Amino acid sequence: MRRNESHIAFVGLGNMGARMAKNLIKHGKKVNVYDINPSAVTALEQAKPCNSPAEAASGASLVFTMLPNGEIVKEAILGDNGIFKEISKNALLVDCSTVEPRVAQELHSISKKNYIRFLDAPVSGGIVGAEAATLTFMVGGDKDSVNEITPVLLHMGSTVHYCGNVGNGQIAKICNNLVLVEIVTSTTGIYSTSISHCLEVGEMLLTDELSSFEVEGCGEKLRKVVMLLQGVAVCFKRF
């Protein structure tokens, strides 16, 4: 049976989340919303205001979170008034925040034990993309679940990249950020690197392979990105 996609919860109404939730409403979705800032909740006049993440998740078949960091995400999901207190079994929980890959994996593991389907789906495109519904989603998790929610994601964005296992969405976002940094700081010209190639390198963030990755033959620009990845890999040990 196809799930009812019209009942959605959205937790986190900052500069990005508020615009993303607004675009869902524009497409006729019934959206329960929660934010620690009450004025952000009341600003979305057509949404249903809620007093906690748990209340927002109650009865929703699809729950989005868009929050500043991993600790806040975990509190919103696992806390005393968190999403897990009320979310339905087999519901989809989609975290669009930018967090460490191991946080996404931890939340996936806990969700699976509670019969909840978890996806990590960080975005690129910034406030302009959130406003215009042209965000790019980089999604990790069960492919069937990703296919299921892709039409909903496309109410908020223009592109959905399936990145593989949970955590890979965050890896793709890290690679994307590092590539952008290299573009901005480059003195020899702009270049492009595909997300699939970034993932080939970035997946190593969760393994012991990155430290020995052969950078010769990558091209000067990609080699710099790999070296940047090698520098931060110690922060993302295998979960």
Catalytic residue among 22, 173, 221, 224: 173
Q: Which two tokens stand for residue 65?
A: 């979170």
Nearest to 226, CA basis, from 190, 207, 199: 199
CB neighbours of 148 closer than 8 A, spacing ≥ 6? 3, 92
Q: What b-and-e string marks burial along 204-216, b requiring 16 or more CB atoms within 10 Å of the CB?
A: bbbeeebeeeeee
24 residue type, one letter = L
How many CB atoms are closer than 10 A to CB 91? 22
How many CB atoms are closer than 10 A to CB 6? 14
The strand pair at 30-34 and 48-49 is best described as parallel
- Containing 148, the helix (H) or strand (E) segment is helix 143-153
Q: Is 173 tagged catalytic?
A: yes
CA distance linking residue 177 with residue 149, whole number of Å: 25
Which residues participate in catalysis according to the annotation? 173
